[in-house]
Amino acid sequence: MSNKIAAVILGAGKGTRMKSDLPKVMMPVCGKSMIKHIIDTLEDMKVDEIVTVISPDGEMVKKEVAPYKTCVQDKQLGTGHAVKCSEELLKGFDGAVMVIFGDTPLITKETFMRSVNKVREGYAVVVLGFKPEDAARYGRLKMDGDELVSIVEYKDATEEERKINFCNSGFMAFDGKYLFEILNKIGNENAAGEYYLTDAIKIARDMGLKCTAFEGDPQEVASANTREELALLETYVKNKQNA
């Protein structure tokens, strides 16, 4: 595989739970939009390709991420479908591809690089996990040694699986050589009729590929769906700046 790195930022979410007209990723954290925090980190890493998935009315996000490429997710059909929208722009890319949620602005370049290095070691899918104080309703990461066996959504988890405190942050990295082959095999036979990125683990393993997860700092993987969570992100950034 090549040493190149690409990033796909999922930026098509609406700011409804923020009670704002702004697209979610445009909400500011310490005076800078969430998505700009991510772009700055990726630029610092000298990432080769940056593609942002936007909604049909995502003009504002498109401007914010310029001069980088964008693709439009016409219908919100789930995270797997969102990443698939970038296929045209990343055709033939065979380096590591990071998939980043646009509302997780605090992941550091060191963490991003750890995921890339795992891909380079031979893992087709790499998931960033964390151990929150309250595992609440997060998806659980089922490990067997270094191998990630599956991601079990809380609602589908058995009592036993709910005891697992290693949780899915949402951030993943893929071997670009297999990414779209994996995505094209994801189905939508679930209650929401959506294509879930988390199904990539089972599919990759069925293809005979290796998956793994590594642990990150719970503060670093924090995301913001509500005003309260946004305020928390601000606190984390300020604490880091003052550290």
Under 8 Å between Cβ of 197 and 99: yes
Q: Which DSSP symbol is given to 142?
A: E
Q: How many structural domains compose the chain?
A: 1
Q: Which two tokens stand for residue 41?
A: 């980190």
**What local confidence, expressed as pLDDT, does residue 21 receive?**
84
* Domain residue limits at 202: 5-242
Evaluate whether 223 touches 135 at the Cβ level (below 8 Å). no
191 three-class SS: coil
Candidates 100, 73, 75, 98; CA nearest to 84 is 73
Report the alpha-carbon distance of residue 23 to residue 61 in Å, rounded: 7
pLDDT tens, the chain, 243 aa long: 899 999 999 999 887 778 788 899 999 999 999 999 999 999 999 999 999 999 999 999 999 999 999 999 999 999 999 999 999 999 999 999 999 999 999 999 999 999 999 999 999 999 999 999 998 889 999 999 999 999 998 988 999 999 999 999 999 999 999 999 999 999 999 888 999 999 999 999 999 999 999 999 999 999 998 899 999 999 999 998 888
What are the φ/ψ torsions at residue 150 (nearest 5 degrees)? -165, 165
Active site residues: 17
CA–CA dist 81, 99 (Å, integer): 12
Q: Please state, as a whole number, how many other Cβ atoms lie within 10 Å of the Cβ of residue 178.
A: 19
| Model pTM score | 0.96
Distances from the Cα of 189 to the Cα of 20, 186, 203, 210, angstroms: 32, 9, 14, 24
Read off the tokens for 203.
């599919």
Single-letter residue type at 205: R
* d(C-alpha 169, C-alpha 171), whole Å: 6
Angle, vertex CA 224, rays to CA 11 and CA 41, nearest 5: 60
Residue type (1 letter), 239: N
Nearest residue to 223 via CA among 24, 7, 48, 68: 24
DSSP alpha helix (H) spans, the chain: 34-44, 59-65, 79-84, 87-90, 109-120, 159-162, 176-183, 200-206, 227-242
Q: What is the CATH number of the domain that holds 41?
A: 3.90.550.10
Q: How far apart are CA 95 and CA 101, in angstroms?
A: 20
The three-state secondary structure class of 223 is coil
